[in-house]
């Protein structure tokens, strides 16, 4: 295989795909790293429902209640006695912010109702429950 000097044959018409492959691989790595960070709150097994509310709440304050009944505000564990004070502080900064409660499917209603009562007494304008949509 000899290298072409480029003098007698003219312009080379081949497409160099190496830069394209490099860009695609970098984007793939970025998406693989960022995707797990998109989930907010503690990981819980959500109850299943056939219908959900169509409105999205991207700026909602996420309260997670896993099966062990611990309470998490975003990624911080909060004691039940300090939940109301934490919510008052968060809602003071953004009064119109909604609250999304992610309760594990194994919880009883009374466990989630206590958190909802604290959210209402802290001045929350709206409280929603997160569910997993079941496809028919």
pLDDT at 2: 52
| Residue 11, in any domain of the structure | no
| Residue 39, in any domain of the structure | no
| Residue 113, in any domain of the structure | yes
| Residue 33, in any domain of the structure | no
pLDDT at 21: 93
Q: C-alpha dihedral over 105, 131, 84, 90, to 10 degrees?
A: 140
Domain count, the chain: 1
Mean pLDDT by 10 residues, the chain (136 residues): 58 84 93 75 66 66 88 88 90 86 86 89 85 73
pLDDT at 22: 94
pLDDT at 13: 79
| Residue 92, in any domain of the structure | yes
| Residue 71, in any domain of the structure | yes
pLDDT at 48: 66
| Residue 78, in any domain of the structure | yes
Judge contact between 132 and 126, C-beta under 8 A: no
103 CB burial (10 A radius; 0-12, 13-18, 19+) = buried
Question: Residue 58 sits in a domain of what CATH number?
Answer: 3.30.420
pLDDT at 46: 67
Domain of residue 127, residue span: 48-133
| Residue 119, in any domain of the structure | yes
């Amino acid at each position: 295989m000899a290298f072409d000097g480029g003098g007698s044959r003219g312009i080379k018409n081949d497409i160099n795909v190496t830069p394209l492959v490099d860009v695609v691989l970098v984007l793939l790595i970025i998406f693989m790293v960022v995707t797990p960070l998109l989930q907010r709150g503690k990981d819980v097994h959500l109850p299943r429902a056939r219908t959900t509310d169509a409105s999205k709440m991207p700026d909602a304050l996420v309260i997670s209640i896993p099966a062990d009944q611990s309470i998490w505000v975003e990624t911080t564990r909060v004691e039940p006695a300090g939940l109301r004070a934490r919510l008052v502080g968060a809602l003071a900064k953004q009064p119109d912010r909604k609250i999304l409660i992610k309760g594990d499917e194994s919880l009883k209603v009374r466990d989630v109702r206590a958190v909802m009562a604290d959210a209402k007494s802290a001045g929350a304008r709206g409280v929603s429950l997160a569910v997993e949509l079941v496809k028919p």
